[in-house]
Amino acid sequence: MIRWLALIPLLALVGLAGVGVQNLLREEKPTTSLADNRPAPTRSFPVLQADGDISFNPPPGGEPIVVNLFASWCAPCEVEHPLLIELSRRHPGRLHGLLYRDVPSNGAAFLERLGNPYGVVGVDEDGQGGLDFGLTGVPETFVIGEDGTVRLHIRGPLTPDDLDRIGNLL
């Protein structure tokens, strides 16, 4: 009887390994999804290293914009940064940043080191604005239409294909 009790941890380990293998083999969910035209948050954010606030609904300039949520502590944010530079080059003034749950001086140093692709950077130190957007984790990118609705929500780092998808909405 005691020998059978010794097998319980081994069976639990085999069961957990089976769940892990199942998760590895399962088809990955797409990181890009068209949004359901929900309204973008109306919250205002203080501007990084400047006076004033910025809101993305309605979008500044009254035309579609891109809002990228990032942080200096986020390794994938650094990986996607060259694509943000390219997006900014293709669509000047249409890319805005939102520094998520980060110290403003760290965010400023991050942008100074890698280059600042953003027209304006808002600061969301407490993370409530990210929650308003529906953020699941940085980096995430949102295309906001001229009417203030989210037209595209990209979870995770941008890919080269995403630049074309975003460009079609701008």
- For residue 24, pLDDT over 80 is answered with no
* Confidence grade of residue 37 (pLDDT, cut at 50, 70, 90): confident
How much is the pLDDT for 1? Answer: 57
How much is the pLDDT for 16? Answer: 64
SS3 sequence of 38-102: CECCCCEEEECCCCCEEECCCCHHHCCEEEEEECCCCHHHHHHHHHHHHHHHHCCCCEEEEEECC
Mean pLDDT of the chain: 89
* Confidence grade of residue 12 (pLDDT, cut at 50, 70, 90): low
The model's pLDDT over 66-116, given as tens digits with 9 standing for 90+, comes to 999 999 999 999 999 999 999 999 999 999 999 999 999 999 999 999 999
At residue 156, the 3 state secondary structure works out as coil
Tokens matching residue 70: 């990032």
Considering only residues 47 and 7, tell me which one the structure prediction assigns the higher pLDDT. 47
The model's pLDDT over 133-157, given as tens digits with 9 standing for 90+, comes to 999 999 999 999 999 999 999 999 9
- The CA-CA-CA angle for residues 17, 21, 22, to 5°, reads 115
Average pLDDT for residues 118-126, to the nearest whole number?
A: 97
Lowest mean pLDDT among 2-11, 47-56, 71-80, 129-138: 2-11
Q: To 10 degrees, what angle do helices 75-90 and 104-114 make?
A: 60
Tokens matching residue 97: 């940043």
Secondary structure letter of residue 140 according to DSSP: E
Share of the chain above pLDDT 70, in %: 79
* Confidence grade of residue 29 (pLDDT, cut at 50, 70, 90): very low
